[in-house]
Amino acid sequence: MPALDFSGPDWLMLGASGRVGRLVRAAWMADPEASMQLIPQMRCDRRARAEQALCWAPLDGPEPFERYVRADGTPGAMLMLAGVIPATGADFSINVGLAVACLEAAKAAGCARVIIASSAAVYDPLAPMPAAEGGPASPASPYGVSKLAMEQACAPYRALGMDVCSLRIGNVLGADALMRNARKGSALTIDRFADGTGPVRSYIGPETLARVLSALAASQTRLPEVLNVAAPGGCAMADIADAAGLRWTWRDAPRDAVQTVTLDTAQLEAIHEFTAEEVTARGMVAQLRRMPAML
């Protein structure tokens, strides 16, 4: 497996207690150098204090971050994984506010590189696939609309010279709907389309995502403004379920169901060289199984 690169100054990861943040942090904590150089940010609670995280709620103002910078210096990169995820009644406008608050804090501290978690949901699921960064972004959900607005809010900071990269991330295995439903003990069903097969989606394993973030944070060249993040080729949800040993059944796909939503990963493949294990359902599930049980 490719090694993580933790050369240079500390990196600050916002959203360390979220679904994706916990997975990425667990992958990084397996590396001894990472445990010394990765600074997690969490909301101020007992868990944050126990884990020696930076207690900071960006929407409440930058003061905790400013105190950290005065004491320990400016992070080499800010990794913004925090945000409101799809849920009934969620206020997705918070995603834009969080991004702006973090960018303002980074600008004031002189942190020139900010990597922000956007989503593949900015693409139209009915458009030709795989979706490429240079193609149109036309989200079909309020969540996707908020993520596209968040990306657009980054433009003024790039104009100031900051290196801001928005990651259009596919399904992160372990934080995706299929695996979340499996942990809840829900009866799992997978849509079956007219050709007898199920949905195909872009996935990425948690360890691979950690390596990608490591490569981006440590890059010696300016990052792309937007970057699709997923393993190449897409993966059948049925293959993920089988590799994970889940019990599931087919159901007839609803009329409005979309069979294939995948990302063009050519830009990412020029940055991160994927191994054979990283692109298969079995390999991604193996990564998830190496995560601590608490996840």
pLDDT confidence of residue 236: 98
| Cβ proximity of 4 and 210 under 8 Å | yes
Domains: count for the chain: 1
pTM exceeding the 0.85 threshold for the entire prediction? yes
- For 245, other C-beta atoms within 10 Å of its C-beta total 9
Q: Residue ranges of the chain with pLDDT lower than 50?
A: 1-8, 34-36, 294-295
Residue 266: predicted pLDDT? 98
In a domain, 6, yes or no: no
The per-residue pLDDT for 124 is: 96
Q: Which pair of tokens denotes residue 106?
A: 């980074």
- Flag whether 244 is in a domain: yes
Give the residue from 199, 196, 208 showing the smallest Cα distance to 234: 199
Question: What pLDDT sits at residue 50?
Answer: 52
CA neighbor of 38 nearest in space, from 20, 26, 50: 26
Residue 3 resides in a domain = no
Has residue 208 been placed in a domain? yes
What is the predicted pLDDT for the residue at 96?
Answer: 97
Report d(CA 202, CA 120) in Å as an integer.
9
Domain for residue 295, yes or no?
Answer: no
Residue 210's CATH number: 3.40.50.720
Q: Is residue 5 part of a domain?
A: no
Residue-range definition of the domain harbouring residue 200: 11-289
Count CB neighbours of 108 within 10 A. 13
Predicted pLDDT at 187? 80
Whole-number Å distance between alpha carbons of 207 and 213: 10
Overall residue count recorded for the chain in this entry: 295
Q: Is the separation of the CB atoms in 7 and 33 below 8 Å?
A: no
Give me the numbers of helices (H) and strands (E) for the chain, helices first please: 12, 14
In a domain, 294, yes or no: no
